[in-house]
Structure formats: C-alpha cells, structure tokens
Amino acid sequence: MMSFLSSSDFWFLVGTSLAKTIFLIFLVVLPMVSYTVYAERRVSAAMQDRSGPNRVGFPISLLGFKKDFSPFLGGLGQPVADAVKFLLKEDFVPGHVNKPYFWLAPCLAMIPSIVVLAAIPFGSTFLGVDMVVANLNVGILYIFAISSVGVYGIVLAGWSSNSKYPFLGGIRSTSQMISYELGLGFSAVPVLLIAGSTSLTKITQYQVDHGWLLLPFTAGMPGLREILLWIPVVIAFVTFTICMFAETNRLPFDLPESETELVAGYHTEYSSMKFALFFLGEYTAMIAGSSLIVVLFLGGWNFPFIPDGSAGWFWGLVNISVFFGKVAVLLFFFIWVRWTLPRFRYDQLMKLGWLYIFEIALVNVFLTAGILAFTK
Amino acid sequence: MAYVVPRPNLTWKEKMYLPSIVAGLMVTIKHLKNMLSGKTKVLMQYPEEKWDAHMPEHYRGAPTLVKDTKDRERCVACQLCEFICPPRAITIVPEEIPGDSKWAKVEKRPLKFDIDMIRCIYCGMCEEVCPEQAIFLRKDYAITGITRAEMVHDKKKLYELGGVFDGLVQKWNPLK
Amino acid sequence: MSTATEVQMLNVQIDGVWLQFPKGTRVIEACKQAAKFIPHYCYHEKLTSPGNCRMCLVEMGMPKMTPDRKPVIGADGKPEIGWIPRPQISCAQDVAEGMGIRTSSPMVEECRKGVMEFLLINHPLDCPICDQAGECKLQEYSVEVGQGESRFLDHKVKKPKNVELGPRVTLDAERCILCTRCIRFMKEVAKDDCIGIVERGSYNSIACHPDKPLVSNYSLNTVDICPVGALTSTDFRFKMRVWFLKEAKTIDVNCGTGANITIGSRENVIYRITPRDNDDVNGCWLPDSHRLNFKYVGDERRLKAPMVKGEPVEWRTAIAIAAEMLKAHSTASTALIASARATNEELWLTRRLIDELEIDKQHDVIPRIGEPDGMLVAADRNPNTTGAKLLDLCTNRPGYRLKKIADGVRNGSIKALVCLGEDATKAGLTEDDLKKLDALIVMDILPNKTTAHATVLLPASAWCEKRGSMINVKGRLQRLNKAVNAPGQARDDWEILRDLIQAVSGSNGLYLIEDVFKQMAAKVKEFANLSLSKIGDLGVQLLDEKKEEEAAK
C-alpha cells in the first residue's frame, strides 16, 4: 500500500483526477449552470413572445476598450451580472430561524448534485486518460445513494426556516422525492439487466457496441433481440425521465417551490448567496440528471461514425463535446416542458408516482427479464 | 349546497394525457420558432424606442399640483386626496393663509404637500376626488431618484411639474 | 324611578302605526323613539325649540270629531285622522291624543327639499376648506333629502368671515344658517347671554355683544352644537380633517366630575376632545378648560426612557435597582406618595406594593382643591379621589399624612420615598429635602422638580394612553380607554407597578389589565361581580351618590 502511495501511478491518479474534477466542475458544469439559467429565461421568453434578458454585455470598455462587448443575441453577460449581484446582496438571516440547519441546508442542496457528477463518464479517453472522475463499478448505485441525500437540503431548509410556507414546501418535497425515487430506481433496472453491469462506463461501452439503447440502429442494423428490447427500454426511458423531473423539482413537479401557492416554497426565507446555492443546486441536479439519462439511454459520449479517444486527442475532445451536446439537448427539453405544462395537484402527483410510474416500472423489469431470457 | 361538477368521460387515449402533452409542447415550440425567425414582433425596446409621441389623452403619469392663471394655489388642503389615496402616498399639512395675503379670503392652503413617488401607484384617484381641480396626473412617467428622500415630491416640485392650469376640467364642464 | 303621579300615556299614529307616548313628549322626540328620524337643525334636545329652521316639517293630523265632540272611529277600530293640509314643524309641538304624523310623505319630502334649497342660497359651499365637512348636517341632509343642483343665479350675500367671537371660537357668518342653537345655549345652559342676531333679512348674521366677548368656560360647546361650520374651534381650526380622526371613548380627568369624552387622534397625535353624551354625568357638555388640556400628552419633553441616577438604563435594570433599594430600607424609613389621578387598577397595585413593603401609614395622595363652577367643574380636581379612599390609599381627608411624611424626610427618619405620578414638591417638600433621600423612586410622565432628583425614574403613560377605571365624586365607576400610544419606552403604569411588586416579592401572574381588575374585584367588595367590560361606555353607579356628595363636603 505504502509503495502504491509513493509510486508515480498514485501521483498520476491524483493529478489526473484533480485535473478532471477542475475541468468538469469549473470549466463545464458551473458555466453550463449559469447559461442554463440564461437559456431558461431566453427560451421561456421566446415561447411567450417576449425577448428576455438581451442587454447585459461584457463591460470591457471599463478595461480601456472602445465599446462594450455584447455578442450574439445580447445578454450573454447576464449570468455574470447575476452572480455578482448574488454575491453582493445583503445576506439576510431572519431572527426566527434555526441557524445551524439554516446554514447547512443550502450546502446540502448543492453538494450532492455536484458529487453525483463524479461517476458520470463524460467522454471516452483523452490522451489515454478515462474521462470519468471516479470509474466506480457500482456507479449507478452510488448516484442513487448520493442524489437521495439532496432531499435533506430541501427538508432542512423548510424546517429550519421556521415559518409556514417553507415548512409546507419541505413536507411536500420529502414525500415527493421519496415517492419518485422508487420509480427512478426501478426504471433504471432494465438498463442494468441489458448491459449486465452497474458500472456506467460499462453501460456506455455496451451501447457503443450494441447501439444506443433508445436508438438501437446507431451501431448498424439491430438484431431481433435489440428490437424486442427496444419496447421495455422506451417504457423505461419515459418513466425514468418523468421521475427525473420529479427528483429535480422541475415543473410540472415543482410542488416544493410552487410560487403561486407557497411564495417560494422551501427557500422563501433565503436571500443572497444562500438562495443562489439552492438555485444552482437545482440546475446542477438538472445537469446531473440529464447526464444520467444520456449515459443510460442515449449512448453516453458515443456518436455514430465518430471514433473514440484512442484515435487521437482531437476525437477525445469531440467525444466530450458530443456528450455535453446531448446533455444540452436534454436541458432544452427540461426547459421546454417547464414552460408548457402546468403544475400537478398534490394528490395527482402522489397518484401518478405510486399508482402508475411505480407499477409500470416494476412490470417493465419483468418484461425486460423475460425478453432477455427468451432471446438468450 | 354542494354543487357537483360533471366530469367529462375520457377515452383511454385521453386518460394517458401524452397526446395532449405533445400537442402542448408543439404549441410552445411553434412560438419559439416564430420568435427566433423574427415572425413575432411585439416588443418595444424601451430606452431606445419610446411611446411618448403616441401617449393617449387619458394617460396617467405622475400626479402634480397646478396653479390657476392668477398664480393662486388651487389646492386648499382639504386632504381628500390624502384620504382617498390607496397606498397612502400623500401627506398634507394644512395652514391658514395669513390675513395680509392677497388670497386671505381662501383661508386655507397646504403648508406641506408631499407625494411619495415610491408609494404612488398612479391610480388617479387624487385627481378624481379633488373638489378644487388642483391635482392632475400629467404625462411624466419616468420618475427616478437615487435616494428615498429624492423620490418624495414636495410642494415646490409638484408645482414645478404641474404648472398653470386654466378653466374647468372636461369632466366637470356641463357644456362639454 | 317611580313618580307620585302617573304620567298619562297618549295614543299617537306615526306613519300608520299606533304607538303610546307619555304626555309632554315633543313630536320630533316621539318620532325618534319610533325610529323615524326627522332631519333638523335648530332643535336640540337640551335646548328650547324656536322652530326657525323649518327642516323638521312633517304632516300632522288630529282625530276627526263628530258634532258631539266624539272621535270618528274608522273601519279598523282606531280613530280616523283629519290631516292638516299644511305641514307642521315637529320640534315645537307636543304629542296629543289621537294625533297622526307622517314623516315620509311626498309632501314632507318636497318640503325638506325646498327648505334645503333655501338654506343653501347664501351658503358659500366651501366644504373643502370648512372644518365641519364630514360631520356637517348641511352636507348630510343635502345628500339625504336635498337636490343635486342649485337654481340660484344671483350673487350670494357676503358676510363677515373669520371673526373672533371669543378667545376660543371663530365665526364664519357666511356658513351660518341662523338656527340660533349657540344663542340659546349661551342663554339657557351657560347663563352668559352674549350672542345674538344682528342686521335684517338676508343680511341676518350672528354676532357677539360688543362689550361682552364669548369668554365663557363653556364656549366651545357652541362649536359642538353648531350644525354647520359657522362656529369653529380656534384651537382645532384647519388642523386636521375630521374623517381622519380615530375616536376613543374615554373620560375626562381634569376634575372629579369625570365628564364623558371622545378623543379624536390620528397617528398617535391627539387633535381634539369632544364631549360624549351621558345624562348621568355631563349631559352633552364639556368645559373648555378640560377640553383643551391635552397638549402636554404630546409634549417633546415627555419621559421616554427609564433612568437610574440620570443615566438611561433598560427597564429590567431600573426595576431591579428600584426593588433592591426598597428592600434595603426598613419599613419605618419608607414612604409612598400615590396619585388620586391614577386609575383604580393602578391604585390597587399601589395598595399591594404598600402591603408588600409593609409601609405603615406613611402613604397618601396629594389633594387638589379648586373653585367649583356649579356646573361641570368639581371642587376636587383629582379625578379618582373616591377610588383612592375606597382602596385605602389615603384617609377620609386626602393629604392628611403628607405633613408627617414631609417631616419624616426632613428629620431623616424617612430615607426612601416612592412618588407615583406626583410631584413631591407639591407635598410640602423642597428640592433640598429630596436631595437628602437615599432612594427616590419616581414614576411620572413629564419632568418636574422631583424627577430631577430621582434615583430611579420610571416613565409612565398619560391618561389617554392607558385603560383602566376611575370613580367620580358622585361614586360612579367609569372607564378610561386608550387613544394613543405612549412615547418611546414609556410603559403602562400598572405594568410598571406589577413588575415592581414582582421584583420586591415574587411572581403574581398578572398579564392583562382585566386580570388586575379581576384580582381587585375579588378582594374589594364594592367591585364584586364587575369587570372592565361590564362598566360599559357610560359607567355604573358604584357608591351611593348622596353619601359621596356629603363626604366630599
């Protein structure tokens, strides 16, 4: 053990992991979060025949340039301005809150969604290094385990705020997230059965070899087995996506927040950066969820006729871009759904989770197992 | 008495809701497409484009006080506007007009007349209620300031904005 | 109340309904009792009826008579009424047997409309300026029975405006409708006949006798009874519109009469005080001196923070230090001066404090005796001397023990003095005497010679800032109500006393003024079965009126 700790392999592992983490978190995910918020505002605006934030550019004239820089659609500086505003706003803590938990809650909302990203293979290889921060053989279990911690952030926020609306938001989110976690888990089981592994890297590799689970023809003409399996996969994909909406508290499942009923739900009493953490946590969870869907159903970093990273560093980068491209499409879908559907009523939400999604996912597991046994 | 709302009987297709969800998604994406392709044009880019030239006659901007053509304050500090003001933006302190003044016969005028433009909701109730036709909502709408104190329009500022007003308002004029 | 001779009841038909009224009831009063309101200006129930405003016109009728002077009985078994063809004023006529009255016939309504039009001919219609606007009978009846437009095209008669009738009353003759209520009030009630009508015809106007200005101490009552804005209070003139005023029903504390009043305040500022009808106490009148004596409540110098030796401290600290000082002194070296201006609840708690400190006959109240005016100003200028006597804060001769206390302070046998709402220098002590004391605990609302030397100073609430009850010189228990909030950190007197008792002896579980009254009612037999809410707005007679009057002499 000691020899491993002092070996160059160890330092290589530490170095590459650090580099990957920094790249993933600071260069990809966080900017992606900011611009998802921006996209959310622009897309929703366009869907409602408005124009959205289109003014804030980059004030480079302050640095001596002749004109401010406001490229493309305009408003690209908005996320930066928002971040600055969040940092500079008064961090107001109401007198009636339970202070330690009140401080802990925003961290618990943000951290799990970031930690989840560690197990996601976001690319093939780059210069011979696997593009996954932690290549766990129980990757999907790890992700479910960690993401269920996320509920604590919301519950604690609701409880520690010590006021009416956050409390209601907290209660709603507890039952909602627990209910839909079951459906989420069961929806993923068919994928694990098909790929025969809980390692996300292996699941991706299976899809590279046999075609994306949702689009089996990406690896040439699919056989009978793939075509038969496509039925339970589509069902699993639909239920998994619905559950993912519920888990990330996105509309139509945003009952914990539900502005029209609960002011701002669990984060009513929060302001400034603590509020921003909830906000970022929600969008990071969206990205993590989308990544998971991409890995499980949409072939991960794979794209037909594009070689993997072993063909050169350029193709490694392309694979990474493909992965995040797919994630971006899913994020757009998230936004699109949000600005189309109204919110569920609470009993409808519970009914959908327990009477439909759960049952469908359960039957789907047996259907998959049957097909697998039949076509073996 | 309880009233039972009849629920429509849905077919199994409708019960799945998926077709209507897809239809809804199509609606929103159509709007997005039209917006991106520039087909929809509904907005006015405010600081560059302004509506000032097309301001309708009935536009309700900032409330102001007016004087008549003989330079008399029309306001007699009856405080009806203060009473009616829904957000309580108006504060009036009345005073007696001193005997040696030209308008001593009027007896009463406002010593202080403050309208807090942070509170004002431009509803026009003050103009409606004024028995002396002393307060009018003019067309200024961009009332801004750096401090709260700056946003309180005092008597001087209100007369400055209001200026001179002659004759009856149309709504009181029986001949019109 | 039973009288020796039975009052004869008369049958009267009002708007088709037969009712009974005692003989001597005025028609307008009978209609009022029958819930048929008749608009009127000159008529006032406490004054004579000149019948000059013509606003109370109704249709009247007397029973039809057969040639042998027997009433004609109609199909319904009641006498048939022969209606008088012209309308009659209802304020100058007593009811008679078999009389018929119509208060809302087309003719009556037409008459009212006509009278309103005449009354408004020379009225300036300056409601936006007029102080009466909002409680003006001209406005009210114009809306109810008048018409919307004026048909009068001539120039209106100009009359004197802004005339000083007296030091406290301003006249605007243009607004006057010449109802003569003020003239009759000064003549009949205030017994100071100084106002009259001068000039002729439409130039008629109210004026004061040139050598006899309106200086009566009851002059502001003319402003109250003036149905229009002709007479206005110089003090209240142009200060505040009446519709902003929040009204609190309470009682006056300037003398032992305890006149019922209404305080009009807005946003914690008192603007005026008006009398409140209570025929058992003050009728509907109030002396000017009492009415205008409220300015000190909003004084800038009001005590706002508790102090220990001139340094502002927190309430908790001040109470604790006061309690410690009191406990450190023996009962013989402690004295207490209470106030007969305090409410019963406060006096009860003071009594308890005295018991806790075991002060023995070294406590008293400061008496205030003035000249009675034979009307509403009583000789006793303390509002609650009766309560102080009842709760044993003083002997039957208030102020009897003050000399003993003053001597004790002077010769050094008294080392600790508690002054609750009173200035010790008015009890025969000098400021030098006060300097000798180890502990001087003062609770008051305004700075005075005693507060200047206080070791512990506790800012309290003025009479209009608290609730409670008082007993007037005639033994009537009446209620004080809160009109405005106390300034700064000043607290309710009873809360301060409760905290002081608590700090001296331990917990006592009083959280509401109602609890204090309950505790008092349980211990003092006179208050048994009463509560603050049972006192009501008009008060209850607690002690025998005659006995109290004799005791006061």
Do the chains contact at C239 and B77, CB–CB below 8 Å? no
| Paired residues of B73 in beta bridges | B67
Q: Which residue of B has its CA nearest to A50?
A: B43
- Chain A positions contacting chain B at CB under 8 Å are 43, 45-51, 336-337, 339-341
Integer CA distances (angstroms), C301 to A310, C295, C296, C488, C530, in order = 88, 12, 9, 11, 37
Contacts of C197 (CB under 8 A, 6+ apart): C178, C180, C183, C204, C205, C206, C207
Could you read off the pLDDT of C321-369 as tens digits, one per residue? Answer: 999 999 998 888 999 999 999 999 999 999 999 998 888 888 999 999 9
Q: Quick one: pLDDT band at residue A17, thresholds 50, 70, 90?
A: confident
Contact A336 B29 (CB under 8 A): yes
Tokens in use for B108? 């009463």
What pLDDT shows up at residue A2?
64
Of the candidate CATH numbers 3.30.70.330, 3.40.50.740, 3.30.70.580, 3.90.1150.10, the domain formed by C307-464+490-512 belongs to 3.40.50.740
CA atoms of A64 and C327, how far apart (whole Å): 77
- Which amino acid belongs to residue A101? Y
Domain assignments of chain C as residue spans, ordered by start: 9-104, 128-138+153-298, 307-464+490-512
- Nearest-CA distance from A333 to chain B in Å? 10
pLDDT at residue number C456:
94
pLDDT tens-digit map of C181-197: 999 999 999 999 999 99
- Give me the residue from A46, A337, A341 closest to B35, CB to CB: A46
Q: Percent of chain A scored above 70 by pLDDT? A: 95
Tokens standing for residue A46? 């366009």
Q: Residue C129 and residue B80: Cβ atoms within 8 Å?
A: no
- Do B28 and A47 count as a contact with CB atoms less than 8 A apart? yes
More confident residue, C424 or A134: C424
Q: What is the ipTM of this complex?
A: 0.80
| Phi-psi label, residue C309: left if phi above 0, alpha if psi -120 to 50, beta otherwise | left
> Is residue C367 within 8 Å of residue C382, measured between CB atoms?
yes
> Quick check: bond before B63 cis, omega within 30?
no
Please give the helix or strand (H or E) that residue B35 lies within, else none.
helix B18-36
- Higher-pLDDT residue of B168, C273: C273
More confidently predicted of C207 and A301: C207
Taking contacts as CB-CB distances below 8 angstroms, the residues of chain A near B27 are 340
Q: Which residues of C touch B84 (CB under 8 A)?
A: none
Q: How far is B95 from chain C (nearest CA, A)?
A: 6
Substitution target from B92, B96, B112, B126 for chain C, most C beta carbons within 10 A: B96
Give the torsion sign (CA, C146, C148, C151, C154): positive
> Considering Cα of B28, then B30, then B36, then B41, what sign does the dihedral take?
negative
Mean predicted confidence (pLDDT) in A41-63: 81
Q: Which residues does residue C198 pair with via DSSP β-bridges, in sequence order?
A: C205
**Which of these, A271, A275, A330, lies nearest to A300 by C-alpha position?**
A330
Task: Please give the Cα distance from C440 to C325 (Å, whole number).
Answer: 9
Distance CA C181, CA C188 (A): 10
Q: DSSP alpha helices (H): ranges in C270-365?
A: 288-291, 315-328, 344-357
- With H, G, I as helix, E, B as strand and everything else as coil, classify residue C100: strand
Amino acid letter, residue C250: T
Å from B54 to nearest chain C CA?
Answer: 36
Strands C81-83 and C88-89, bridge-based pairing: unpaired
Partner residues linked to C14 by β-bridges: C17, C101
- Calculate Rg over the CA atoms of chain C: 29
Mapping DSSP onto H, E and C, the string for chain A reads: CHHHHHCHHHHHHHHHHHHHHHHHHHHHHHHHHHHHHHHHHHHHHHHCCCCCCCCCCECHHHHCCCCCECCCCCCCCHHHHHHHHHHHCCCCCCCCCCHHHHHHHHHHHHHHHHHHHHHCCCCCEECCEECCCCCCCCHHHHHHHHHHHHHHHHHHHHHHCCCHHHHHHHHHHHHHHHHHHHHHHHHHHHHHHHHCCCCHHHHHHHHHHHCCCCCHHHHCCCCHHHHHHHHHHHHHHHHHHHHHHHHCCCCCCCCCCCHHHHCCHHHCCCCHHHHHHHHHHHHHHHHHHHHHHHHHHCCCCCCCCCCCHHHCHHHHHHHHHHHHHHHHHHHHHHHHHHCCCCCCCHHHHHHHHHHHHHHHHHHHHHHHHHHHHHHC
Contacts of A341 in chain B (CB under 8 A): 21, 24
Between vectors from CA C74 to CA C71 and to CA C80, what angle results, nearest 5°? 50
Q: Which of A50, A51, A339 sits opposite B28 (nearest CB)?
A: A339
Instruction: Indicate whether this model's pTM tops 0.80.
Output: no
Nearest neighbour of A49 by CB, restricted to B24, B29, B40: B40
Instruction: Determine the pLDDT at residue C106.
Output: 93
Half-sphere exposure of B50 (CA within 13 A, CB side): 9
Residue of A nearest to B36 (CA): A46
Chain A positions touching B25 (Cβ under 8 A) are: 336-337, 340
| pLDDT level of residue B168 (50, 70, 90 thresholds) | low
- Shortest CB distance from A50 goes to which of B21, B36, B43? B43
Asked if A49's CB is within 8 angstroms of B42's CB, the reply is yes
User: C9-104: what fold?
Assistant: Ubiquitin-like (UB roll) (3.10.20)
Q: Which two structure tokens, joined as six digits, stand for B117?
A: 């433009």
pLDDT score of C222 more than 80 = yes
In whole numbers, what is the pLDDT of chain C averaged over residues? 90
Q: What angle do CA A240, A246, A249 make, to 5 degrees?
A: 140
- Give CA–CA dist A78/C161, Å, rounded: 66
Residue C111 burial (CB < 10 Å; 0-12/13-18/19+)? buried
Give the pLDDT band (50/70/90) at residue C21: very high
For C133, name the nearest residue in chain B, comparing CA atoms only.
B78
Nearest to C308 by CA among C517, C455, C208, C494: C455
Query: Closest-CA residue in chain C for B133?
Result: C128
Highest mean pLDDT among A267-276, A316-325, C142-151, C411-420: C411-420
In chain C, the residue whose alpha carbon lies closest to the alpha carbon of B134 is: C128
Q: Choose between C295 and A6: higher pLDDT.
A: C295
Q: Is B98 left (phi over 0), alpha (psi -120 to 50) or beta?
A: beta
Q: How far does the CA of residue C130 sit from the closest CA of chain B (Å)?
A: 8
Pick the residue from chain B with its C-alpha nearest to C161.
B105
- B-chain residue closest to A46, CA distance: B32
Half-sphere exposure for A283 (CA within 13 Å, toward CB): 21
The CATH T-level fold of domain C128-138+153-298 is Alpha-Beta Plaits (3.30.70)
Q: Are A196 and A213 in contact (CB under 8 A)?
A: no
On whether the CB atoms of residues C124 and C228 are closer than 8 A, the answer is no
Q: How far is A36 from A79, CA to CA, in rounded Å?
A: 9
In this predicted structure, which of A1-5, A199-203, A350-354, C404-408 has the lowest mean pLDDT?
A1-5
Do the Cβ atoms of C497 and C421 come closer than 8 Å? no
Interface test with B, best of C158, C241, C244, C267 (most B CBs within 10 A): C241
Among A47, A337, A341, beta carbon nearest to B31: A47
Report d(CA C417, CA C402) in Å as an integer: 12
- pLDDT for B3 beyond 60: yes
For residue C259, the one-letter residue type is: A
Query: Residue B105: its chain C contacts at CB < 8 A?
Result: 161
Count B/C contacts: CB-CB distance under 8 Å. 33
Which secondary structure element, helix H or strand E, spans residue C389, and what is its range?
helix C385-390
Per-residue pLDDT for B134 more than 60?
yes
Q: Does residue B172 have a pLDDT over 70?
A: no
- Residue corresponding to tokens 């502990």: C439
- Do B78 and C127 make contact, defined as CB atoms within 8 angstroms? yes
Q: Which two tokens stand for residue A73?
A: 């659609």
| Interface contact flag, B79 C241, Cβ < 8 Å | yes
Residue among C128, C161, C239 minimizing CB distance to B132: C128
The single-letter code of the amino acid at C57 is: L
All residues of chain B having their beta carbon less than 8 Å from the beta carbon of residue C126 are 107
pLDDT tens string C438-454: 899 999 999 999 999 99
Over its C-alpha atoms, chain B yields an Rg (Å, rounded) of: 26
Lowest mean pLDDT among B103-107, B156-160, C204-208: B103-107
Q: Which secondary-structure segment (H or E) carries B22?
A: helix B18-36
Range name among A71-75, A369-373, B42-46, C158-162 with the lowest pLDDT average: A71-75
Report whether pLDDT(A252) > 50: yes
Q: Is the dihedral of CA A14, A16, A21, A22 positive or negative?
A: positive
Q: Are C540 and C472 in contact (CB under 8 A)?
A: no
Residues of B within 8 A of A48 (CB-CB) are: 31
Interface test with B, best of A56, A72, A341 (most B CBs within 10 A): A341
Assess whether pLDDT exceeds 50 at residue B171. Answer: no
Q: Which residue of B has its CA nearest to C131?
A: B78
Chain B neighbours, 3+ Cβ pairs < 8 A: A, C
Give the three-class secondary structure for C327. helix
The rounded distance, in Å, linking the Cα atoms of C437 and C411 is: 11
Tell me: pLDDT of A310 over 80. no
Q: Is the per-residue pLDDT at B170 higher than 50?
A: no
Q: Is C243 in contact with B83 (Cβ distance < 8 A)?
A: yes
The minimal CB distance from C244 to the residues B76, B83, B105 is found for: B83
**pLDDT per position as a tens digit, C114-163:** 999 999 888 888 888 999 999 999 999 999 998 877 788 888 888 988 89
B/e letters for C458-491, b = 16+ CB within 10 Å, e = fewer, are bbbbbbbbbbbbbbbbbbbbbbbbbbbebbeebb
Q: Which two tokens stand for residue A204?
A: 């991706």
Name the minimum distance, in Å, from the CA of A251 to any CA of chain B: 13
Q: What percent of chain A has pLDDT over 90?
A: 5
**Rounded Cα gap, residues C36 and C511, in angstroms:** 46
Q: Give the list of residues 6+ apart from residue A308 with CB closer than 8 angstroms, or none.
A: A124, A125, A208, A301, A302, A315, A316, A319
Percent with pLDDT over 70 in chain C: 98
pLDDT tens, C495-547? 999 999 999 888 777 899 999 999 999 999 999 999 999 999 999 998 877 77
C5 pLDDT more than 80: no
**Contacts of A among chains (3+ CB pairs under 8 A):** B
C-alpha to C-alpha distance for A58 and C242, rounded to whole angstroms = 58
Distance from CA of B12 to the nearest CA of A (A): 14
Structure tokens at A169: 């938001």
Distance from CA of B115 to the nearest CA of A (A): 29
Read off the pLDDT of each residue in A212-231 and give the average, rounded to a whole number.
77
Encoded tokens for C182: 């003020």
Amino acid in position C289: S
Does C contact A via 3+ CB–CB distances below 8 Å?
Answer: no
